[in-house]
Amino acid sequence: MSTDKEDLELDDDFVSEDSDDTEAPIEVAKTNLTKRRIIDNFLDERRLNKQLAEYDFDL
């Protein structure tokens, strides 16, 4: 065993083959679609409630 510290050279351009970068955009798209659907449903509900509040029941 050596007591001297040796300098190790690291490759900065090393890319792991186990990375999940290809699946990340798919998850983001699903999340964005889900958020968009929630917002659309909320806006649709508000529109319907407004129409109901403005409806003239004395027809």
Q: Residues 6-32: pLDDT tens digits?
A: 666 666 665 555 555 555 566 787 889
Run of H or E residues at 24: helix 24-54
Residue type, 20: D
Q: How confident is the model at residue 59 (pLDDT cuts 50, 70, 90)?
A: low
Record the tokens describing residue 27, joined without a space: 């998850």
The pair of three-digit structure tokens given for residue 22, joined into one six-digit string = 């290809």
| Confidence (pTM) | 0.48
Model pLDDT, residue 57: 79
Min mean pLDDT across 21-25, 26-30, 47-51, 54-58 is at 21-25
Q: Name the DSSP letter for residue 40.
A: H
Q: Is the dihedral of CA 14, 19, 21, 22 positive or negative?
A: positive
Spatial distance between the Cα atoms of 46 and 59, rounded to a whole number of angstroms: 23
